[in-house]
Structure 1
């Protein structure tokens, strides 16, 4: 059973790791025409929804490993890990909200220009948060 939980945890983490390319993907939206832009934004929107599912699976499988199979990690490590994952979920949710605003706007190009700075910031903060999460998760002994 432990191997299956590890498998789910790693697959979810790999899927979440795909968000490392998000800040670079945002830059390509300017070169799209209106129909291509809407299609690209809907694809990114579906990806953010799936990212939330991956986060839930990471939290469940990680909690299951900590409770059922761990050698008693420190409270600080568990708290820090949980807060970082909640931060990542919140940032993905803010990206999701801004993309919905762009999709449902009358002029998508104009809405993209208005929200581009926010999307870039959220993308880079998500990027850094994922890197910090990987560091914290792989170096548990530093936080004991």
Structure 2
């Protein structure tokens, strides 16, 4: 497996991100859906990586700079075919390492409060993320869980 910086032009990533958006639309009310689409992920303050096993896309993750000391994890997704293979751990380890190398002091994320997101919340906690209040543009929302990792 290898992780690479991605320019978001391949059909595989478009399909994986559409699957991600479809799932978010199915489980999150519109006012609580914070997933970014392909165009939004191409913003200059976002870096995007894909994880590949041979020629198959296994997952993706993005890092959004909030300011010189803080960043946010966005669009972390594992492809369905790779469920149970530790893809989330690999992606999370990669993005934390990258955030540290860029000198960020805090790494934030927003995820859902619903049962569907319980495995993600558990993964984040296992890496040391702790609950926090809303950050950046977010507002208090009963459907969102905000987490922070001190780097």
TM-score w.r.t. length of structure 2: 0.26
TM-score, L = length of structure 1: 0.27
Greater gyration radius: 1
| Higher RCO, Cα 8 Å, sep 6+ | 1
Q: Which has the higher helix share?
A: 1
Flag the structure with higher strand content: 2
